[in-house]
């Protein structure tokens, strides 16, 4: 895995694990999504890049680190647009709109098997998509529309 071994993630003060997902939109309006590798949880699922927030890390730092680890990409988090607490698991996700630096992507095969650029409709209805994709895409589209 790029960037070395992941550090342990601990429950936050609210008793939950916290993570980030990153929404990057290309000039043609398509969103950057990935198909998860067989080596990570929820293998084969289509979702946004992201992962757990490590101890002492801000949400913005986690966005940057996860984009580097998963895609070899540099992102600049712009705006927190979404928040989701799983009702059946102690996990909270924070969704960010971000810009990505120009250049080729270098996906880590241990985390990503496919990079996808999908329209909002495609990403929200993908047969292998996570149930939270549609809600996050709606928040991203609203944020972009408000810019």
Q: 103-146: per-residue pLDDT in tens?
A: 999 999 999 999 999 999 999 999 999 999 999 999 999 999 96
Confidence of residue 1 (pLDDT cuts 50, 70, 90): very low
Secondary structure of 93-143 in HEC code, one letter for each residue: EEEEEEEECCCCCCCCCCCEEEEEEECHHHHHHCCCECCCHHHHHHHHHHH
Fold of 27-146: Nucleoside Triphosphate Pyrophosphohydrolase (3.90.79)
pTM score: 0.90
Confidence check: pLDDT of 49 > 90: yes
Give residues with Cβ within 8 angstroms of 74, minimum separation 6.
64, 67, 68, 100, 101, 103
Give residues with Cβ within 8 angstroms of 8, minimum separation 6.
55
């Amino acid at each position: 895995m790029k960037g070395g071994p992941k550090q342990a993630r601990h429950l936050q003060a609210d008793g939950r694990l916290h993570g980030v997902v990153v929404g990057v939109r290309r000039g043609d309006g398509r969103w950057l999504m990935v198909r998860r590798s067989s080596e990570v949880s929820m293998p084969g699922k289509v979702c946004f890049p992201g992962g757990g927030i490590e101890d002492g890390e801000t949400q913005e730092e986690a966005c940057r680190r996860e984009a580097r680890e998963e895609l070899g990409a540099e992102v600049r988090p712009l705006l927190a647009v979404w928040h989701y607490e799983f009702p059946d698991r102690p996990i909270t996700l924070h969704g960010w709109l971000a810009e990505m630096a120009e250049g080729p992507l270098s996906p880590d095969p241990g985390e990503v098997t496919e990079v996808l650029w999908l329209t909002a409709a495609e990403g929200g209805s993908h047969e292998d998509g996570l149930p939270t994709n549609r809600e996050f895409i709606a928040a991203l589209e609203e944020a972009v529309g408000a810019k």
